[in-house]
Structure 1
Amino acid sequence: MIYATLHADGHSCNSLFAEEDLVHRHNPTSTPRLLRQAFLERGIEVNTADLNQGREIAFELHLEGRPLSPLQVPRYLIALENPYINKLNASSDYCQNFDLVFAWDVRLLQLAHVVPILIPHPLVCHDFPGPEQRDIFSCLINANKAFKEVLPSDLYSERINTIRWYEKQAPGQFSLYGLGWEKSTPAFTLGSKLKRSMSRLQTRLFGIPPFPSFRGELKDKSTVLRRARFSYCYENSRDLSNYITEKIFDSLVNGCVPIYWGADNVLEHIPEGCFIDRRKFSNTEQVHQHLLSISAADHAQYQHNIWRFLHTDGAHKFSSEHFVKQVVDRVCRHLDGLQTQAAMIPK
């Protein structure tokens, strides 16, 4: 058996390959498990570093930019996280430390060893309920997060704006789910820290929740997305080409029409008739009025378009199976090339 080490922050004892990720709550592990199985079928056992102690390691697989180990073996990087969150993922200098880099960021494609990929999704799709069977008008499912620095492309703040608009103007037509909404939004500036303190005080003294639209955490998003007509799917930042995450696909596979804001080239990957493009509207009120105008027949047409798209090669490019095949094939081909080169060196 050939052994390889997967480096992923916070993970040990193969926790990334468990049925349930206990390190990052509710984080799906289906793609890492599929990746490990695909390597096993090639005779390569991938483990976290603690389980490979004392073994000869053939290569390292790094999930996201992180500090490098001193081991002198082939290294491969999978860079999926937003570069505003993990800045190493966008660093050409850092990427030079790897034999291959798998990345969606088009700005890295100038490097010869970068393999273009898309952020994977399981894309498990079943027949979904029609509009008449959906009792939630609109929802937003995200963790309560914020950028530490001010970014012109920030969409964390736009999620908050959407939530606040609904709580004031149409509370009966919106539900909020996810991690951390029982608390105020994280604060990093003096002004935001003061607002957070005031919110906490209101909660303690008067029992006023920071987000009245909050309905709870979700272990399985589909329990809500199969009940909702529309879902606000905002990436954490906008205008990053190819940065299309699970948010829109979670909605699509459940027949929930997404209101999407994020990648500037989303229409190169997902047809216009499958989602509502937030960029066409000036504010949440305009979006909401448009949603109200969508009839059951119109909604059913969106669902028809979504179903057709999910069964095309265009959607398959985002599947976990396609992602895993790209990574495993390229890594194994590179390793075979290294072995061939070694065999040609005179002894």
Structure 2
Amino acid sequence: MKQGGVFLMEKTMSVEEKIKRAEEIYNRRKGINIEENRTEKLHVNEPTKDVKLLKKLIIQIIICGIIYGTFYIIQNNKFIFSEDFLNKSKEILSEDTNFVEIYQNIKNTIQSFNQGIINQTQNNNNQQENQEQNNKETENSEGNTETKQEERSKEQEGIGGATEEQTPNQSQEQTSSQTEEQKQEQISSQTKEVTQEEQDINNIKNTTQFIKPIEGKISSTYGYRGAATGTVPKNHTGTDIASNTGTKIKSATEGEVVLASEEGDYGKHLKIIIGEVAIIYAHCNQLYVKQGDHVTQGQEIAEVGSTGNSTGPHLHFEIRYQERTVDPQKILEI
């Protein structure tokens, strides 16, 4: 019936009324949609606004807490406003900082550092040039000596009328002169070594006092020796003192234990340093001290043994100056 009534009303309504009615229906529907969208937007924006307000509130609370804390610390801390603190701050503020002077000092230090590097490089270059010049001079001198020898041999051949039978004598004389020169060079090198050893011995005697590490018989001295087996080296760097296994070894000097090891040909051994002097106690049966310990003269530091490259129980007693070995029997009576 309603549909029939509406149909009858539409028939009775004019065209203008129909248009107005359609516009009213459209506007009414449009207004409902706008209100719905507004309500949805309001509902969506409400939680974001709440979050922003909460953040602002938290930040304000934190700021208030910081301000309150600073005032509380200032009020209850007497050191900040003490006379010593105020006087110190006045003293620091009253100092006149000369930045120009600081800049000049930094500049001078950098220039001196650069100048030192330049001087060092120049010295190195000069040394290299001097060395090259010396090498050239030696080469020239050797060439001059060779030419002089050739001239002398030619003069002898021309003056004496030497035949081919006499030339072997001249060659023998030349070889003999060369061997003499080689002998002199060997003697000079040996004397240099002896003087170096004597210098080391004098330095050791002047700086360090020794006592005998153990009582015993010397089984092998310092220096070159005939090897008993293939494992025993010919160049002996210390003095071997034979004794029974377990004999207590006393420190010949005071010093610091820089090495306590069980490896290598020395077996169980110690290295004690005092100044530039080093003493080695090798082939021990047992060590009483460890690396880093400070020992006194006469302190028991180890036991005699036969560990490492050894043919029997003994103490290998070695003395070094700047890592150069010397004869221990020239330092103390063993």
Q: Same fold (TM over 0.5)?
A: no
Which structure has more relative contact order (CA 8 Å, sep 6+)? It is 1
| TM-score of the pair, normalised by structure 1 | 0.22
Which is helix-richer, 1 or 2? 2
